Amino acid sequence: MKQINLDTSFLSLEPEELKQEERLLLDRALDACDMAYAPYSGFQVGVALLLDNGEIIQGANQENAAYPMCICAEPVALSRAKVQYPEAKIIWMAIRVKNEAKPALEPAAPCGACRQIISEYEGRQDAPIGLLLQGQEGPVYKFQEIAPLLPLSFSGKFL
Ligand code: THU
């Protein structure tokens, strides 16, 4: 028998411990929450991507009265980035949340489908995407890549 360890450890940082560019990207993600269309859940998700050409691309969730058609903020931002700058690599992805029902004082982790989508974009660019997660305020969870959030992931290599 062989035991395989999946490293799911990550850093929880206070905002003061972040680099200035990381704080700036998190600010842009919080701004993006205002672009959310979330009349049904009242849960606004904002994303800001830093590309290797220096551009910052934002995204926000877009809901639909037919609930399963809701589009998460992460694929909105990733699709925008890839269509607008097909050659650029995504270096960092900041995700912030605002909740009408109660203050979001801790990060909300991306949903399973979004983790799979982020993993695909890492594969496409053959480089990791760092993740910074934060609520409206409070601690920042930092990941160097999607793997700890999606261990043993499915990918094109199986096809
Ligand atoms: N949502 C996202 O935008 N990203 C996620 O990773 C989780 C959920 C959105 C979808 C929906 O508009 C609202 O948050 C509540 O689920």
For residue 45, the ligand 1 atom closest to its alpha carbon is: 3
Indicate the DSSP class of residue 71.
B
List, for residues 52-72, the tens digit of each pLDDT value: 999 999 999 999 999 999 999
Residue 10 falls within a domain, yes or no?
no
Residue 89 has pLDDT above 90, yes or no: yes
In sign, the C-alpha dihedral spanning 150, 151, 154, 155 is positive
Nearest CA to ligand 1 atom 6: 110
Residue numbers of the domain that contains 83: 20-151
> How far is 67 from 89, CA to CA, in rounded Å?
32
Residue 145 has pLDDT above 90, yes or no: yes
Q: Which of 17, 21, 55, 74 is flagged as catalytic?
A: 74
**60 within ligand 1 shell (Cβ under 6 A):** no
List, for residues 12-31, the tens digit of each pLDDT value: 999 999 999 999 999 999 99
**63 within ligand 1 shell (Cβ under 6 A):** yes
Residue 3 falls within a domain, yes or no?
no
CA end-to-end span of the chain: 27
> Which single residue is written with the structure tokens 């009408």?
100
Q: Is 126 helix (H, G, I), strand (E, B) or coil?
A: coil
Residue 62 falls within a domain, yes or no?
yes
Residues 6+ apart with CB under 8 A from 1: none
21 classed as catalytic:
no
Residue 49 falls within a domain, yes or no?
yes
Nearest CA to ligand 1 atom 2: 72
CATH code (residue 118): 3.40.140.10
The domain total for the chain is 1
**132 within ligand 1 shell (Cβ under 6 A):** no
Residue 77 falls within a domain, yes or no?
yes
Mean pLDDT of 25-38: 98
Residue 159 falls within a domain, yes or no?
no
- Bridging pattern class, strands 140-143 and 90-99: unpaired
Residue 143 falls within a domain, yes or no?
yes
- Bridging pattern class, strands 56-60 and 130-134: unpaired
Kindly calculate the radius of gyration of the chain based on its CA atoms and give it in whole angstroms.
Answer: 16
List, for residues 95-125, the tens digit of each pLDDT value: 999 999 999 999 999 999 999 999 999 999 9
CA of 74 to the centre of ligand 1 (A): 9
Ligand 1: residue of 30, 34, 37, 43 to mutate (most ligand atoms within 8 A of CB) is: 43
Whether this prediction's pTM lies above 0.95 is answered by yes
Buried b (16+ CB within 10 A) or exposed e, 114-146: bbebbbbbbeebeebbbbbbbbeeebbbbbeeb
Residue 14 falls within a domain, yes or no?
no
